[in-house]
Structure 1
Amino acid sequence: MTTLTTERGPVLDAETAVATAARVAEELADGAADRDAQRILPARELDTLSRSGLLGITVPTAYDGPGLGAATVAEVFRLLAAGDPSVAQIPHSHFVYVNALREQGTPEQQQFFFAEVLAGKRFGNAQSEVGTKHIRDFRTTLRPAGADHWLLDGEKGYSTGALFADWIPVLAHLGEDGPMHVAWVERGADGVTVVDDWDGMGQRTTASGTVRLAGASVPGSRITPFHLTFEGPQTYGAFAQLLHAAIDAGIARAALDEAARFVTTRSRPYPDAGVERAAEDPLVVQAFGELELAVRAAEALLAEAGRAVEHADRHLSAESVGAASLAVAAARASTARAAVEVSSRLFEVAGTRSALASLNLDRHWRNARTHTLHDPVAWKVQHLGRYAVDGTLPPNHGQI
């Protein structure tokens, strides 16, 4: 079990947040390949992230936070993912559930939990379940156990961040088949077990394992409604998807940068090219141009999507939210494709030596292929197509 930090980080403005993310990303990149190869969980790196102040950048100004917008958060995630996408994915749910508190928390809940975030505390995730009909089908239940008191039972999979968390937000039915709520339970509470059983081929150090809940005690003051978020226009889903797109964009840029370093320092030219350096081979240069184009396009769509989410937050309506969701869908489709393409073609441009297992360059493709499976890209394109054909806005749920 990791040692959890309680040190309050600085309150960062947008420019400082991006600069801090770039600095932390450099630290993450140093050792990322070894952590992946040996599956060394990044407890120290996450403590660095907590101390940096980055985990508190979306806490509203009314609660002493900087209240930074989605575009800045996306850029922070893109930079962190370029350093180590596993570390970047771990706080994804932290930011999503800070957003959930902004949407539905009571003033008392907001006061308490936002102070926890600013003190360096981390939120995990216990949302998805394995073996249900689909990803929005849940069995976990909060059952009444006295006045304003509940017991939480269920099992969650893909619980990214839970192993390293101070608080684990758990998505559950309030009562038998009641509306969905979020139960906030402490990581070390009785009845809460976090199992490090994640064995993904990529994103290996996210520790996205299992959370088991057996009669965990939850007071009513630690329960927030979830279903109400989707009864009107919301950017909750678009914000969550935006951060996933940022992680893919970071993977793509990291793979391209590492391919360039390899070609300029370690690759030999093909004799038919008639050049002294592999980096001068016109076929290699052409390939790099194509990959740079793909990554730049993905980064541009990511930035546009961040601005669209911010606009929708300022001018909330079905139309603005729909536009934001479509912009995020385009970004997710583009960043996913760029991440998989660049991390695969890395070997094409770098040559045979790049396939040595000791170099672990395949981690970029494994990370890209694993993370891009989080949501089907085809459904992003489907919603874009429906809008292009007849102006149909995407559905109002948390996956778009």
Structure 2
Amino acid sequence: MLLLPIRPARCCIAAYGRLWSLRIASRPDARLFSATATVATATYPALVYSKYGRPEDILRVSRLSLPPLAKSSVNVQFLAAPINPADINVLQGTYPVKPTFSDDIGGAVAGNEGVARVVAVGSDVHDLSVGDWVLPLASGSGTWRTHAQYSRDDLLQIDHDGVSPITAATVTVNPSTAYRMVRDFAPLKTGDVLLQNGANSGVGQAVIQLARAWGIRTVNIVRSRPNFGELKSELQELGADLVITEDEARRPEIAAAVKELGEGHMPSLALNCVGGKSATNMIRLLGHGGHVVTYGGMSREPLTLPTSAFIFKDLKAHGFWMTRWYNEHSTSERAAMLKDLFKMAREGKLKEPWHRVWKFSANGVKGDEGLQTLCREAVAEAGKGLTSRKQIFTFE
């Protein structure tokens, strides 16, 4: 038998986030080979902060590497992640959920919500595959980055057939908040009316669409603005029945219109994300035994209940925080709610939130400095008042 000499050769095997260099032995027994040291470790851009303050001042782009893939770990690549008001509050240090600052990454990765695609799974993970879409379960999961590693238990797999990345990335906060508030506080039935302020917000848009799908009518209050007519038309396209400004809410003719909308009955549910006079005027439109649910305070003014209405109408006031609901309910209950919301999205009953996309590119022509400038601009835009558009990072 003719034996040909085997020349020394080098080859590189690409593992996820890491390159291994192999040298094949220059002898007939090719089973004898050894792995040399790591020659390169991939890094990925992330928005990191190490102190509280103005988001535009404290956010910075940092390049992070993923740890070796453990048996129960999952590596993911993010597809999209929104900028929510709660994200800004976290960065300012005013949100109840505090991040864990890590010396390893020089702070914490920002972002609480997003959708990602699985790119690698550990040997003990048998119910996820590369290509599956997942949602982080924990608050403060650090979603403003291109790649991350999570424990399998910290991810929820979703059926993304017919669901856009934007819808999936934004479903766990705004639509879920709307879903729970409309479902859980007042025994609404077809033809009933609910009130809400901040109706052009992400939650407000979802409330309108869910209520419409369930046969519930909506009275929607927004702040006065030069383009009110345009905003009114947009909300009506989503299914809003009555759209008024905060200045109009106290007019006697509005109370009459609300009663007519309810066929002689005043609303039994009011959803408040503003507080102050806006909430007070809205609460006056509630019927006997009505419920007011507060889930935000954009005016930074306290909630004031009209004394006479509170006493003689037997009103009930509640606070709602989506994070608390998640903590108090099982993953299966969360999955059931999301399944229902995704079904509505596929049927065209729940549309993507009005939004603007910001491309978070790992290889942008302007480098990390340009990416940092873009991200700070996006967060600043999200913090502006009178905006109805959700600012969303998409990842490349």
- In which range does the TM-score fall when normalised by the shorter chain? under 0.3
TM-score by length of 2: 0.26
Which has the larger Rg?
Answer: 2
Structure in which a larger fraction of residues adopt helix: 1
